[in-house]
Amino acid sequence: MNRYMVLLKHDLRNMARDPLLLFMLIGPLLLILAVRTGSAYGTDLLQSAGSFDLLRYTDLITVFMMLLIPILIGTMTGLFILDERDEQLIGLYAVTPIRKQGYFLYRLALPTLLGLAMSTLFLLAGGVAQRQFENMGVLGMLALEAPIFALFLATAAANKVEGLALSKIVSLTLIGAIVAYFAPEPWQLLAVALPTYWPSKLYLEGASVGGDLAWTTAALVTGFLYHLLILYVLLRRFLQRID
Amino acid sequence: MIQVKELKYTYPRKKQQTLRGLDFEIGAGEVFGFLGPSGAGKSTIQNILVGKLQNYEGAVHVFGQEMKKAGVDYYERIGVSFEFPNFYGRFTALENLNHFRSLYRNRDAEPMALLESVGMSQAAHTKVEQFSKGMKMRLNYCRAVLNDPEILFLDEPTSGLDPVNTAMLKRLILQRKEAGTTVLITTHNMQAAEELCDRVAFIVDGEIKRIDTPHNLKLRGGERKVRVEYEGDQGRSSEDFALDGIGDDARFLELLRYRQIITMHTLEASMDQIFIDVTGRSLV
Amino acid sequence: MRMWRMFLFDIRFQWKHGFYLIYSLICIVYFGILYFVHEDYVEKSLILLTFSDPSALGLLFAGGIILLERGQGVMGSLFATPVRIREYVLAKCLSLSCLSVLAAYAIHLPIGGWPVSPVHFTIGVALTSSFFTLIGIWTAVQCRSINSFILLTQLYVLPFVLPLAGYLDWMHSPFMALLPTHGTLILLDGAIRVVGWQETIYAILSLVLWIGGFGWLTNRAVLGTVRKLDGGKSHE
């Protein structure tokens, strides 16, 4: 554990040069705060302005924002890894006792834990989410999404520029939430390939009145296994690439 | 071609001067070497001469013009190769050269011919991201001479090159010189400097300790002696003999005749040794 | 002309790094989303989307290109040639505007059909894209890492998003009218209505002035990192 503390300390000291940690902490916190205050005041404002009724979309906003947290954290981590690779820093870690595996374990554990913590905070304190049993499963999947996005960027992009371009694609996975919310049943199949679809689906199933327990269980099990599969594939590809 | 008088330079927000009053002149068609350990101020000099640092004191004239007043057209007439070669990785060697060539007014150079001259015509259509350091160094040289520059700045041109390619690069540099190009080399590779340069300047702590031809430096620094190592009665021993009149030196002849000689070397100084003698510093 | 050659090279660079491919994908996804959006909201959604994505893509991408070029040290080689900073910056603005305009049309045509005034729409996207490209370059030059770059751009961009609130009738403030993005929204509105010539002149003038200002800042910032390392007198 000691070695990882060294890395963490290094990151803390490096905050000024690369505000990764800062960003991963403050970004989601701001998001949660914005949703909390926004949901309180936004409804009145929008109603008086004659725009659409925000309340009707509470569930959509919830899934949208809860997906945004791992996307944010995962993208930052992925870009950070690319930055370190561009500067050939990863090679440096490889010859220290931490080794490459240790380095990546640390790099991926941090967003996983932070993502989990922030997602939990959002669901509990965001002021929009429903308290429901399904959220446990939702959180489990969300925790895996930050490392998935980070690894996706780190394997698919050859450098920072491509990483930035691909981060657009990562943001696009948000449509998983939109499809799960809006699309009629057969069209939903279009989005099953997106990991983000599954936690959204699970949450919405739980939140809908008269949700089907069988469906909920199916979404939970399939989604979770699917997340693990993606993570495994990406991790393998990544480790092959850095050797 | 280049005249420098009383050149002093202090980096912004630094107290200590990096260059402390340099004087030198470099003639047209000369190959001039700056030798010194890292941190001595070599790259500062290069950066001043290529116009990247302008807040210097003293006078720096290149092509008869004060560097501070040099416009962007100055870059039409010089070529610069950096120690760390850099290209667009996603583009091929040829594409890179074509792009850099397209930025000059003089676009007569044939990138393909240049690649051939450094033995890289095979790799012309390979993406640079797949190149080794040595290949990038050679491509780097091609890039620097694309505009057929009047002055060529080379920073550690032989670093990362194997002996064969080092020899090839030296040949190319000497060809440039024949064609009238002035070449400035910064390096800490003494051997390369000795073989290439008409004159070298030793730089330590922002000062030029000596400027001379490699030949003169060697003459001055060395001793006209020969050191003989032989198998003595109590194991190996060695003795030095002056070269003048060595044919009549009885002790020398005795050693040659009756002892088993292990090595025999004249004590002309290596450039490294001269550098240490002159500056009191080692090169690394 | 050197400008033109640099522009073409930038386009190829962006092509080779997958910008065009990724934007094709993004456009398809946007098409998918807009397809499901209710008729009453489509027009506004289109304009908001055009505002927030194709028009602003330069922010992220220009910065990324700068960080990469500097990180790989290409800038050193580049500015050892007679390239002028303004040519370099302008080439980035134009090439990314090109991508912006293409993407904007790719999103707009299949959903909204041909804009009412293609001239307004195109100029709006191109000028806005150039403006955000300049901010991207200006920010990237001051940053060491990609994450600090993203953090800073988000901060810098914040005020320029304000006119959106006015556009959506959420709140109004005379201050917003000073921002270039107010002009952007006017010009983008050319997609759905006829924009008067006074408004047009005001919008274009506002954008051009802001572009001029940030162009000057960017030029100075780039100059300081690649040509005049010690802030010496400019000879550009």
Interface of C with B in 43-82 (CB under 8 A): 72-74, 76-78, 80-82
| C231:B80 CB<8 A | no
**Whether residue A48 has pLDDT greater than 80:** no
Helical H segments across B90-225, by residue range: 93-101, 111-117, 133-144, 163-178, 190-196, 214-221
Q: How much is the mean pLDDT over chain C?
A: 88
Return the structure tokens found at B6: 């009383």
Return the structure tokens found at B245: 């009149």
**Using a CB-CB distance cutoff of 8 angstroms, which residues of chain A are in contact with residue B90?**
158
What is the model's pTM?
Answer: 0.85
What is the structure's pLDDT at C235? Answer: 41
- The 3-state DSSP class for residue B81 equals strand
Shortest alpha-carbon distance between residue B54 and chain C (Å): 5
Looking at the complex, does the CB of residue A159 fall below 8 Å from at least one CB of chain B?
A: yes
Instruction: Between B267 and A144, name the one with better pLDDT.
Output: A144
* CA A132 from centre of chain: 20
Residue A109: which region, alpha, beta or left (left: phi > 0; alpha: psi -120 to 50)? Answer: alpha
What is the structure's pLDDT at B205? Answer: 87
Report yes or no: B118 and B138 within 8 Å, Cβ to Cβ.
Answer: yes
Return the structure tokens found at C202: 């005001």
Q: Which residue of C has its CA nearest to A49?
A: C170
Average pLDDT over residues C75-90: 91
What is the structure's pLDDT at A74? Answer: 93
Looking at the complex, does the CB of residue A49 fall below 8 Å from at least one CB of chain C?
A: yes
Determine which of A38-42, B126-130, B264-268 has the lowest per-residue pLDDT on average.
Answer: A38-42
Q: Which residue of B has its CA nearest to A162?
A: B90
Q: Which residue of B has its CA nearest to C68?
A: B88
Average pLDDT over residues C120-141: 95
Average pLDDT over residues C166-186: 87
Report yes or no: C62 and C215 within 8 Å, Cβ to Cβ.
Answer: no
Alpha-carbon gap, residue A118 to A71, rounded angstroms: 12
Average pLDDT over residues C9-16: 94
Which sign, positive or negative, has the C-alpha torsion A184, A186, A188, A191? Answer: negative
Single out the residue of A188, A189, A200, A198 nearest to residue A228, CA to CA: A198
Alpha-carbon gap, residue B224 to B242, rounded angstroms: 6
Alpha-carbon gap, residue B69 to B60, rounded angstroms: 10
- The 3-state DSSP class for residue B225 equals strand
Alpha-carbon gap, residue A134 to A202, rounded angstroms: 7
- The 3-state DSSP class for residue C226 equals helix
Q: How much is the mean pLDDT over chain A?
A: 81
CA angle B28, C227, A82 (to 5 degrees): 120
Shortest alpha-carbon distance between residue B215 and chain C (Å): 33
Alpha-carbon gap, residue C73 to B78, rounded angstroms: 19
Return the structure tokens found at C192: 């759905």
What is the structure's pLDDT at A43? Answer: 61
What is the structure's pLDDT at B115? Answer: 94
Looking at the complex, does the CB of residue A154 fall below 8 Å from at least one CB of chain C?
A: no
Q: Which of A22, A161, A169 sits opposite C64 (nearest CB)?
A: A161
Average pLDDT over residues C110-135: 93
**Whether residue A46 has pLDDT greater than 60:** no
Determine which of B216-225, C26-35, C113-122 has the lowest per-residue pLDDT on average.
Answer: B216-225
One-letter amino acid of C180? P
Shortest alpha-carbon distance between residue C109 and chain B (Å): 32
| B72:C236 CB<8 A | yes
pLDDT in tens, A177-234: 888 887 777 778 878 888 998 898 888 887 777 667 787 888 889 889 999 999 999 9
Determine which of A212-226, B151-165, B269-283, C102-116 has the lowest per-residue pLDDT on average.
Answer: B269-283
pLDDT in tens, B148-169: 999 999 988 888 888 898 889 9
What is the structure's pLDDT at C58? Answer: 87
Pairing state between β B182-187 and B199-204: unpaired
**Using a CB-CB distance cutoff of 8 angstroms, which residues of chain A are in contact with residue C150?**
23, 76, 79
Looking at the complex, does the CB of residue A165 fall below 8 Å from at least one CB of chain B?
A: no
Looking at the complex, does the CB of residue A178 fall below 8 Å from at least one CB of chain C?
A: yes
**Whether residue C108 has pLDDT greater than 80:** yes
Share of chain C above pLDDT 90, in %: 48
**Whether residue C22 has pLDDT greater than 50:** yes
- Give B2-218's CATH code, choosing from 3.20.20.140, 1.20.1530.20, 3.40.1160.10, 3.40.50.300: 3.40.50.300
Instruction: Please name the residues in contact with B173: beta carbons below 8 A apart, sequence gap of 6 or more.
Output: B31, B152, B154, B157, B183, B185, B196
Q: Which of C73, C235, C236 sits opposite B84 (nearest CB)?
A: C73
What is the structure's pLDDT at C147? Answer: 82
**Using a CB-CB distance cutoff of 8 angstroms, which residues of chain A are in contact with residue B88?**
none
Share of chain A above pLDDT 70, in %: 84
What is the structure's pLDDT at B221? Answer: 66
Shortest alpha-carbon distance between residue B81 and chain C (Å): 8
| A169:C22 CB<8 A | yes
What is the structure's pLDDT at A55? Answer: 59
What is the structure's pLDDT at A210? Answer: 66
Single out the residue of C180, C212, C190, C179 nearest to residue C93, CA to CA: C212
What is the structure's pLDDT at A110? Answer: 86
Average pLDDT over residues C214-227: 90
pLDDT in tens, B177-206: 999 999 999 987 778 888 889 999 988 888
Residue A35 CB burial class (10 angstroms; 0-12, 13-18, ≥19): buried
Single out the residue of A70, A65, A45 nearest to residue A55, CA to CA: A45
Residue whose token pair is 């952007």: C184
CB atoms within 10 A of CB A13: 9
In this prediction, residue B284 has a pLDDT band, given cuts at 50, 70 and 90, of low
pLDDT in tens, B32-52: 999 888 788 888 898 899 888
Determine which of A83-87, C98-102, C108-112, C206-210 has the lowest per-residue pLDDT on average.
Answer: A83-87
Alpha-carbon gap, residue C181 to C164, rounded angstroms: 8
Alpha-carbon gap, residue B151 to B177, rounded angstroms: 10
* CA B128 from centre of chain: 26
Share of chain B above pLDDT 90, in %: 35
| C147:A166 CB<8 A | no
**Whether residue C93 has pLDDT greater than 90:** yes
* Chosen from A160, A178, A181 to mutate, greatest number of chain C CBs within 10 A: A160
Instruction: Between A113 and A3, name the one with better pLDDT.
Output: A113
Report yes or no: A166 and A157 within 8 Å, Cβ to Cβ.
Answer: yes
What is the structure's pLDDT at C228? Answer: 78
Alpha-carbon gap, residue B263 to C39, rounded angstroms: 96
Highest mean pLDDT range out of A209-218, B81-90, C110-119? C110-119
Give the chains touching C; criterion: ≥3 Cβ pairs < 8 Å: A, B
Residue whose token pair is 């939140």: A207
- CA dihedral (C214, C220, C223, C229) in degrees, to 10, reads -140
Alpha-carbon gap, residue B179 to C121, rounded angstroms: 56
Looking at the complex, does the CB of residue C86 fall below 8 Å from at least one CB of chain B?
A: no
Alpha-carbon gap, residue B262 to B267, rounded angstroms: 16
**Using a CB-CB distance cutoff of 8 angstroms, which residues of chain C are in contact with residue B50?**
80
Instruction: Between A185 and C138, name the one with better pLDDT.
Output: C138
Report yes or no: B64 and B17 within 8 Å, Cβ to Cβ.
Answer: no
Q: What is the domain partition of chain B in residue ranges?
A: 2-218, 223-267
Return the structure tokens found at C190: 């050319």
* CA A171 from centre of chain: 10
